[in-house]
Structure 1
Amino acid sequence: MSIFDEPKIDCHNHLFDPVAYPYHPDAPYAPSGQEVATLTQWEEVMAAYGVCNALLVGPNSGYHTDNRCLLAALAAGQGRFKGIAVVDNAISLDALAALQAQGVVGVAFNPALYGLQTMDGAEARLAKLAELGMFAQIQVCDDQLLELHGLLERSPVRLLIDHCGRPNAAAGVGQPGFQALLKLARSGRASVKLSGMQKFAAADALHAQSHAYVQALIEAFGPHACVWGSDWPFIRQSSRIDYGPLLKLAERLMPDPQLRREIMWDTPRRLFGFT
């Protein structure tokens, strides 16, 4: 049985439907053309590749803090989808609980896009998420995690780190930011997405340049704290990315079928509450 036949949950993907849900005026980027990705199109991709469930990530691009497109998809999915929302800094506990009741399991923080200043005053949001048992999904790049390590260690919130921490592919696993990510595994509250290799590795060397990082993460976090994601529909990419080759990349990075089942099925079901 190949990876295409195995049960899978994709834990990082986005929807962009500007006809039904116009973009937020403050969004940093407006996906267009082949980047537009409706729920119907996403369900067709899932069916083609044997993806059973998905963790839909509310994007900063396009929608910023407008979660209507995300929430509509969660409602339409009737439990097939869970969500990560983008919210205002001052969101109340009650508003977070209302999102949680609709299938949102966490909130996205994106220093990789907005800089470390986006985490100023984040303690209050992290505390609210911790109170509700929700995730703080954090996307960093290079050595940004060094600056955040103390904050994340102090907070009791459940952590979900995007895209292997987006290391500098040329700097090796010993680079300080990636080592800070490996240390987070000791907290017992952190999980990591084995996703976004195309964000830090060259398109023609995805396996060669990501292999060492993926293996180090699996060893440090264990398969019980690793999940997989595609980052579909691959916005702002400098070269072509396709879903099928990314699945074959996952198969090469995780050649053991039992390991793949745990990371791509068992762990996300447990972490995010898929039935």
Structure 2
Amino acid sequence: MTANMVVDCHVHVFDPARFPYAADTFYSPAGPELGTPERLTALLDAHGVTHALLVGPNSGYGEDNRCLLDTLERGAGRYRGMAVVPTRTSRAELAELRSRGIAGITLNAALLGTDRYADAGRLLRDLAALDMIADVQVTGNQLLELTPVLEPSGTRILVDHCGRPDPAAGLDTPGFRELLRWGKTGRAFVKLSGLAKASREPYPHDDLAPFIRALLEEFGPDHCVWGSDWPFLRAPERIDYAPLLDLLPRHIADAGDRRQILGTTPHHLLGF
């Protein structure tokens, strides 16, 4: 079933003509940053990508998941989603989201800070009870700050963008060491994605190669997935989709490992 599956595990959808942005949004994607459902379908079809994980964006929509849910419904099984919700969200509300294709909930500490999730213990326990996922985005040493609330919950975690390490600081920073520790638990998965968010070099972002090697060693291909971060909000330089796919053989030499990361792992993790 997964032999020809290729899953992009980090994309966003923006359709302000049908789902207007929140009035108080801190950033309103526009122009080439607009990722409507139609554009997403055309993009994936053009590049042979069979499925995708739609991550609810804080830009534009915040905790308004209507555009995300609409795209999931229109995708007819092609997509799964990660929703943005308040930490007070009930288990019944989470179960309803799950029934509509939501695989988990985002914890975007990189944007919103770790204090926002200080009271997320009940939410995380409910995610674990529902076999849902905490999709975590951190930077610096934030994962260390979140571990006391993440670890006791028992929920699986999926860490965005290689943990957004700082290449200048090296592999031995406390935050990255903590991410590698999570790789040994069997409960954590990591997205090999968003390299432009962390790299200090232009494409092909070779300064992140040591971090990717370390993640592959500690997590293994059965706990790694790939994502593009399309449609590339606030990108520091032009990013095109095909060159991102071309980076995979550069970092992952073994074709079997690439198939695992692109297809088998996300198939089992997200339930496609």
> If the TM-score is normalised by the length of the shorter chain, which range does it land in?
over 0.9
User: After superposition, what is the alpha-carbon deviation per residue over 1:202-221, rounded to whole angstroms, capped at 9, x for unaligned?
Assistant: 35254411111111111101
Of residues 13, 30, 33, the one that matches 1:32 is 30
Matches of residues 122-271 of structure 1 in structure 2 within 5 Å? 122-271=120-269
CA positional deviation for 1:90: 1.3
User: After superposition, what is the alpha-carbon deviation per residue over 1:225-273, rounded to whole angstroms, capped at 9, x for unaligned?
Assistant: 1100000000011211111111111221112211100001110011101
Pairing 1:57–2:45 present? no
Rounded Cα–Cα distance in structure 2 between residues aligned with 1:143 and 1:234: 24
Aligned residues: 270
Distance 1:207 1:238, change over 3 A: closer
Matches of residues 91-106 of structure 1 in structure 2 within 5 Å? 91-106=89-104
The amino acid of 1:263's aligned partner reads I
Rounded Cα–Cα distance in structure 1 between residues aligned with 2:236 and 2:210: 23
User: After superposition, what is the alpha-carbon deviation per residue over 1:138-167, rounded to whole angstroms, capped at 9, x for unaligned?
Assistant: 100011112122322222011111110001
Distance 1:172 1:206, change over 3 A: farther
Rounded Cα–Cα distance in structure 1 between residues aligned with 2:126 and 2:107: 14
Where do 5+ consecutive residues of structure 1 fail to align? 1-5
2:271 is matched with 273
Secondary structure of the residue aligned to 1:107 is: strand
1:73 is matched with 71
The amino acid of 2:195's aligned partner reads M
Q: TM-score, normalised by structure 1?
A: 0.95
The amino acid of 2:54's aligned partner reads L
Q: Which runs of 4+ in 1 moved over 6 A?
A: none
Rounded Cα–Cα distance in structure 2 between residues aligned with 1:144 and 1:206: 26
Kept in 2, the 8 Å contact 1:207–1:253? The answer is no
Rounded Cα–Cα distance in structure 1 between residues aligned with 2:36 and 2:68: 11
Q: TM-score, normalised by structure 2?
A: 0.96
Rounded Cα–Cα distance in structure 2 between residues aligned with 1:269 and 1:157: 18
Rounded Cα–Cα distance in structure 2 between residues aligned with 1:75 and 1:205: 35
The Cα RMSD (Å) is: 1.4
Rounded Cα–Cα distance in structure 1 between residues aligned with 2:88 and 2:144: 25
Rounded Cα–Cα distance in structure 1 between residues aligned with 2:141 and 2:166: 8
Secondary structure of the residue aligned to 1:204 is: coil
Kept in 2, the 8 Å contact 1:160–1:192? The answer is yes
1:110 is matched with 108
Rounded Cα–Cα distance in structure 2 between residues aligned with 1:205 and 1:50: 22
Rounded Cα–Cα distance in structure 2 between residues aligned with 1:153 and 1:127: 10
Task: Pick the structure with more helix per residue.
Answer: 1
CA positional deviation for 1:28: 2.2
CA positional deviation for 1:181: 0.3
